[in-house]
Structure 1
């Protein structure tokens, strides 16, 4: 798929986590296409749910009491999108893009322990949170079509992108963890597997701006095992994200946990 960003002058985009990394790269590219990236009360044309936390070594909680990764990566974006839904519906053809991860290829999701109270494994919990983001994106698109909300929802992942997500700052550590230092070492040892930010944003940018993008679709890098470059392609969708019953169960749970309900 060819990435061609049209002139987006006059449109409004909201990008979460835009202070650095992929979010900063996305905001810069959108601004370069003429988008306004901040405003209040205007219809929202593009919402990119990008902010994230990755693998804090010890279990932490949000101020609301949710496991930090599930609360930040999924529940926070579920609630934000719900609150912004009236502004999204006010736009002529709004798009919502949720940034997932290749770590979303998880085989199971324990709906009774999404907060990892029975055992915390950093990478497993990160994968579950990113799977939830993907399931939300697909279900949001289905509900939009069924209810006539007039928005298109899709998901994308950046492959293996060189960002500061593992730096520790996102979960309160002053220094990078051992995992972060080892990851940064592979940037030098295995450079062919890693993408710069400008390459990593392409799947998300395609979903957000390309005239050819479709709703309910998962985009990723077209290269080696969806980790490297080569343009934008369709990413592998895990079975849980293809299951109507599982997506709807997650939706009901998310409404219950956040207290944010979407209209029928």
Structure 2
């Protein structure tokens, strides 16, 4: 059973809608103080109204574009200026990739930039607040698609061929590789901070349902997009139920440090969450170390713990 988060500070990226909002609802009911970090201010204000109706928790919104290093630095500076320790950081935000490959101003594929590079930068920037908390947790949200995902560290921008579904798989695999590698590094230095990963199983969110089919999509991309949306709509859990794995990763004292949490029923599609096994690529510790080193080079960040 999740422990109380009374007076604990939880920041959730992408918390204005979908799975992030579902997690925020669960955390409010556990007494947490919530910061929603999201690009969509209008959706965030509506989310705060919903959360306020659930309890008297302290609520805060911070606008951030995770594809933009300057935006990440700005939100981090505001939070650092407040000085409030951060007990739980939920790295949840992400997009389903556009039909045409889109690059950020820095030249990174957009899906990877938001899901991985953005969260890498944000976690690093908020590290002083995590260290100031007692036994803080970083929870990285991944997906079932990581099980079949592959990654070519020499072609993270898909210069040799882009497909949206492949970009999505790489982004979600990156989330899990980051979580596992961060935990290895934290254990090596005896840090009190822990890194966890979680996936919701099949969940009804806007991710697949709102992804528009383009005339530039090939037959496989059309099929995969329609299948994702149909599966979420017809078999998915509500976002609040889907957030169960995130809540367990953020609160449970009964799971090992660094665990990967997901639902246990029907090929991890739904059900009571517990410790699950990462896919084959995520189990490759050398790949995790390689991605970490490349991410430091891409972002210019040298992490100290």
SS in 2 for 1:61: coil
Q: Does 1:36 align with 2:33?
A: yes
For structure 2, the 5+ residue unaligned runs are 36-78, 213-220
CA distance in 2, matches of 1:37, 1:183: 30
* 1:1-264 correspondence runs (5 A): 4-38=1-35, 40-106=82-148, 108-166=150-208, 167-168=210-211, 183-186=228-231, 191=234, 193-227=235-269, 229-263=270-304
* Partner Cα separation in structure 2 for residue 145 and residue 106 of structure 1: 28
Higher RCO (CA 8 Å, separation ≥ 6 residues): 1
Q: Which runs of 5+ in 1 are unaligned?
A: 170-176
In structure 2, what is the equivalent of residue 172 of structure 1?
Answer: none
Distance 2:147 2:229 in 1: 23
TM-score between the two structures when normalised by the length of structure 1: 0.88
Other-structure match for 1:173: none
Counterpart secondary structure, 1:51: coil
**Structure 1 stretches of at least 4 aligned residues deviating more than 6 Å after TM superposition:** none
Higher strand share: 2
CA distance in structure 1 between the partners assigned to 2:31 and 2:104 by the alignment:
35
Question: Residue 26 of structure 1: CA displacement?
Answer: 0.7
- Residue 194 of structure 1 and its aligned partner are, at CA, apart by 1.9
Shift of 1:214: 2.4
The separation in 2 between residues aligned to 1:134 and 1:223, in whole angstroms, is: 20
CA contact (8 A) 1:62 1:72 kept: no
TM-score by length of 2: 0.77
- In the superposition, relative to structure 1, how do residues 182 and 9 fare at CA in structure 2: closer, same or farther (>3 Å)? same
